[in-house]
Amino acid sequence: MTCPAGPPRRRSRSGAGRKPGKQPGAPGAHLEWAPAPDRALPHFPAGRCECGADLAAAADLGVAASHQVIDVPAQTATVTQHDLHEVACGCGRIHRAEPPPGTGAPRTVTYGLQIQALVVYLIAVHAIPVHRCAELIGALTGAEPSPGFVHSMIARAAAAVSAANKAIRALIILARVGGW
């Protein structure tokens, strides 16, 4: 039995006549300059001039150059406490403010719609397993949903779109172009 010679050798580029990278005449690709950036941060020279004057007191001549950076801000989960106040009417009746939708029962903590939507997106669109989804949300936001919460969102999302799914299915069945 003979030993294999190993993987086939690659051809050298030197004989091909082309250099690595974009070839002359090929269309370029670049990030587009945003005409209206979300924010602009002014940067001024700091320190002292060679003459000894502080540059903080120097005359501003305007923007000499600009750079744009596209990035996603770091997202951390925030905790919002909804305090429901009570007021006493002149007649003696007491009235309490209504809780916003989705806040749950008093003295409970719930996850908001953004985290719920992120869970459904990761599971439904990207097929991320339940435990991994919980870990990923924890790593990205600092929130620590349990695998049980993540799993419950599958059924809640299915229930939320059930009526729409039934309507779509019925319309497809009744369509003359369905081909069935």
Give helix 130-141 / helix 147-174 axis angle, nearest 10°.
110
Among 129, 178, 130, 120, which residue's Cα sits nearest to residue 153?
Answer: 120
Asked if residue 95 is part of any domain, the answer here is no
DSSP 14-57: GGT---SSSPTTSPP--PPPPSS-S--------SB-TTS-BGGG
Mean pLDDT of 148-168: 94
Q: What average pLDDT does this structure show over 23-36?
A: 83
Sequence-separated (6 or more) residues with CB below 8 Å from residue 13: 19, 20
Percent above pLDDT 90 for the chain: 56
Confidence at 109, pLDDT banded by 50, 70, 90? confident
- Per the structure, the complete domain to which residue 124 belongs is given by 113-180
pLDDT at position 4 is: 59
Q: 177 vs 117, 141, 167, 172, 174, CA distance in Å?
A: 34, 46, 17, 9, 9
Instruction: Write down the pLDDT at residue 69.
Output: 86
70 lies in a domain? Answer: no
Domain for residue 11, yes or no?
Answer: no
Domain-embedded: residue 148: yes
Task: Give the percent of the chain with pLDDT over 70.
Answer: 89
Q: With a cut of 90, say whether residue 152 has pLDDT above it.
A: yes
The total number of structural domains in the chain stands at 1
Average pLDDT along the chain:
87
**pLDDT score for 135:** 96
State yes or no: pLDDT of 178 exceeds 70.
no
Give me the pLDDT at residue 121, please.
Answer: 95
175 occurs within a structural domain: yes
pTM, to two decimals: 0.59
Question: Rounded to 5 degrees, what are φ and ψ at 76?
Answer: -125, 145
In a domain, 99, yes or no: no
pLDDT tens digits for range 54-108 = 999 999 999 999 999 888 787 888 899 999 999 999 999 999 999 888 888 888 8
d(CA 104, CA 110): 6
For residue 125, tell me if it sits in a domain.
yes
CA 118 to CA 25: how far, in whole Å?
Answer: 43
**Structure confidence by residue, pLDDT tens digits, 115-141:** 999 999 999 999 999 999 999 999 998
> Has residue 123 been placed in a domain?
yes
Tell me what pLDDT residue 132 has: 97
